[in-house]
């Protein structure tokens, strides 16, 4: 009987030790890796989706922990958010399974409670402090708070900004024009990194892909903006043809003032339009564009 009790106690002790080891050792192990703790993933990152590509490439190189409170927030948004948030929240829930299935990535669902009474952001800050870890987020406000509290932040937006390709004036790229610009003659396209490109004199080419030449760049509070123009092969009219339109547009104005040609009109070169030529009408917008083109050096 005493032997049976001793064996039962030994088995119980082994089970308790295993449970304690399974519950706490992953974080302790990751914290010892070159002094770098685990990375706690925010809701915004899962809804964004780009972390999957980073994990597949092995670029993060650290253990990823998805708190149960983050999963609870995704579930809440998937059930009660608007249409856009519901779609992205459901994609975020599917992304967790895809991350866990990656062979070269360590992704763990961390049991911290399904509901964060003080908010998910505060829970992430608390976990990062407690386990000497970092936060992976694209939330601007959470990034600022974590920085103030000396918590390491892995911001995917900042990474994308640093890796963004630099385009110099004079370079030519193929660009899909998708919408109108602020001015009637402008068209807008976007690069692969979502940088907006404003193309001059290209409103008639909206919906097509053209080759453009970059002119200059402008850094704004909302991000970087590029300005471009359609290359010569894709321009609807060249400068020489534009000047001809101006000449043709001025001829009818002279003919209205006098029914008989003056000596000055008779001495015009052969290329000048005659009285019998039909005038081409242009609206005010086209006339202003022609004047702007004529003033260009």
* Residues above pLDDT 90, as percent of the chain: 34
What's the rounded mean pLDDT across residues 130-137? 92
User: Tens digits of per-residue pLDDT, 55-89?
Assistant: 988 888 889 999 999 999 999 999 886 888 899 99
Q: How confident is the model at residue 223 (pLDDT cuts 50, 70, 90)?
A: low
What's the rounded mean pLDDT across residues 105-118? 80
Position with higher pLDDT, 296 vs 78? 78
Q: How confident is the model at residue 21 (pLDDT cuts 50, 70, 90)?
A: low
Q: How confident is the model at residue 33 (pLDDT cuts 50, 70, 90)?
A: very low
Query: Comparing 62-71, 194-203, 262-271, which segment has the lowest mean pLDDT?
Result: 262-271
The predicted pLDDT at position 294 comes to: 55
The predicted pLDDT at position 141 comes to: 92
What's the rounded mean pLDDT across residues 268-292? 50
User: Tens digits of per-residue pLDDT, 231-262?
Assistant: 876 444 444 444 443 444 444 444 444 444 44
Q: How confident is the model at residue 263 (pLDDT cuts 50, 70, 90)?
A: very low
What's the rounded mean pLDDT across residues 202-223? 84
The predicted pLDDT at position 291 comes to: 58
The predicted pLDDT at position 182 comes to: 86
Whether the model clears a pTM of 0.85, i.e. scores above it, the answer is no
Mean pLDDT (the chain, rounded): 76
Q: How confident is the model at residue 97 (pLDDT cuts 50, 70, 90)?
A: very high
State the SS3 of the chain.
Answer: CHHHHHHHHHHHHHHHHHHHHHHHHHHHHHHCCCCCCCEEECHHHHHHCCHHHHHHHCCCCCCEEEEHHHHHHHHHHHHHCCHHHHHHHHHHHHHHHHHHCCCCCCEEEECCCCCCCCCHHHHHHHHHHHCCCEEEECCHHHHHHHHHCCCEEEEHHHHHHHHCCCCCCCCEEEEEEEEECCCCCCEEEECCCCCEEEEECCHHHCCCEEEEEEEEEEEECCEEEEEEEECHHHCCCCHHHHHHHHHHHHHHHHHHHCCCCCHHHHCCCCCCCCCCCCCCCCCHHHHHHHHHHHHCC
């Amino acid at each position: 009987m005493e032997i049976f009790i001793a064996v039962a106690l030994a088995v119980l002790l082994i089970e308790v030790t295993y449970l304690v080891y399974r519950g706490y050792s992953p974080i302790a192990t990751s914290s010892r890796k070159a002094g770098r703790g685990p990375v706690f993933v925010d809701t915004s990152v899962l809804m964004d989706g780009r972390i999957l590509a980073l994990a597949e490439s092995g670029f993060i190189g650290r253990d990823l922990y998805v708190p149960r409170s983050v999963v609870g927030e995704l579930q809440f948004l998937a059930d009660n958010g608007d249409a856009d948030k519901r779609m992205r929240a459901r994609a975020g829930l599917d992304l967790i399974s895809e991350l866990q299935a990656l062979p070269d990535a360590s992704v763990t669902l961390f049991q911290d409670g399904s509901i964060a009474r003080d908010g998910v952001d505060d829970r992430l800050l608390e976990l990062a402090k407690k386990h000497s870890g970092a936060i992976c987020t694209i939330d601007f406000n959470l990034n600022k708070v974590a920085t103030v509290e000396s918590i390491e932040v892995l911001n995917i937006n900042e990474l994308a900004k640093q890796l963004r390709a630099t385009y110099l004036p004079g370079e030519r790229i193929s660009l899909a024009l998708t919408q109108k610009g602020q001015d009637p003659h402008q068209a807008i396209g976007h690069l692969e990194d979502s940088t907006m490109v404003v193309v001059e004199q290209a409103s008639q080419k909206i919906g097509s892909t053209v080759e453009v030449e970059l002119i200059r760049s402008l850094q704004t509070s909302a991000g970087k903006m590029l300005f471009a123009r359609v290359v010569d092969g894709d321009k609807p009219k060249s400068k020489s043809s534009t000047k001809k339109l101006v000449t043709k547009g001025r001829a009818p104005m002279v003919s209205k003032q006098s029914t008989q040609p003056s000596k000055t009109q008779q001495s015009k070169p052969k290329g000048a339009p005659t009285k019998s030529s039909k005038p081409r009408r242009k609206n005010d917008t086209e006339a202003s564009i022609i004047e702007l083109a004529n003033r260009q050096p």
